[in-house]
Amino acid sequence: MTSPYETLGVSRDATQKEIQSAYRKLAKKLHPDLNPGDKGAEDRFKAVSAAYALLGDEEKRGKYDRGEIDETGAETPPRHYYRDYAAGGDAAGRYENTHGFSDFAEADDIFSSFFSRRGGGQQRQRGRDAHFSMEIGFLEAANGAKRQISLPGGGPALDLTIPPGTRDGQTLRLRGKGEPGFNGAPAGDALIDIRVQPHALFVPDGDDVRYDVPISLSEAVLGGKIRVPTIDGAVNVTIPPHSNTGKTLRLKGKGLHKSGGGHGDAYVTLKIVLSPNADPALSAFVEGWTAGKAEDPRKDLGGNA
């Protein structure tokens, strides 16, 4: 299996910032919205998202580097060797016998780690946790959603509640839905690693979201009210007169849910977009606009601009 470092095209000693930069570059290039019908790009996008879900989280990255989890984020099961039992200081000498073959054990001794040494009673052992991953849309993560999932091994589908404000790399827990316990002990949990797909418009920035909104030349010059999308629905926004491309408006409380309550903000950056159809009247006006020709918007750049 390809390592997540290879998938993102970074070295194992890459910084978290380098990993994030590589992911953003690939995600922007491979996003399904930008490659409609391209199954190869979609598969690569999924692989890149999975790799970033692992390496973008410093704790998970450390576990992967130490071999505690694999490329999917699942725990690596510990390996048990006979020498582990033989070195345990067994006072009864159960791994030695009078036949001279101390490297071999009786069949019932091999399973002795599962039994209590008091009266031969079986130990209760909680079931192991089961690890899974799930991709969800950005708006599902931001606003919360209900999903049904089917776990390996059959059985009825499970209802999964995705809380509002769920972040990429966050793990959701379904208690008692992991592997069954031993000798009446409780089952383990199902741990579901969430991978949030990038959105074509909204870009998360901590608890805030940032995005660009196009405006017409008329709206930029004269100002006015426009409808602007947010993560939970469109709202009316007032554009001040004489607004330039790059002007940013703050929509308070229209960002992501905060873990401690409340919401972040939305930051809308305006972009002046001319009509694709030439307007002779506008062209004639600008041609005769003397003051406009005298204005130099590049005068503060320095050099020979």
Nearest to 55 by CA among 7, 105, 108: 7
Q: What is the pLDDT of residues 223-247, one digit of tens each?
A: 999 999 999 999 999 999 999 999 9
Q: How many CB atoms lie within 10 A of CB 66?
A: 9
pLDDT at position 145 is 94
Q: What is the pLDDT of residues 32-59, one digit of tens each?
A: 777 778 888 888 888 888 888 889 888 8
- Compare 118 and 13 and report the one with higher pLDDT: 13
Alpha carbon distance 172, 130 (integer Å)? 12
- pTM, rounded to two decimals: 0.56
CATH among 2.60.260.20, 3.40.50.11890, 3.10.129.10, 1.10.260.40 for 203-293: 2.60.260.20
pLDDT at position 127 is 87
Q: Is the domain covering 1-88 a CATH 3.40.47.10 domain? A: no
Provide DSSP, 86-99: HTT--TT-TT--TT
pLDDT at position 137 is 93
Q: What is the pLDDT of residues 282-302, one digit of tens each?
A: 899 888 888 888 888 888 886
pLDDT at position 155 is 64
User: Do 126-198 and 203-293 agree at the fold level?
Assistant: yes
CATH class of 126-198: mainly beta
Average pLDDT, the chain: 81
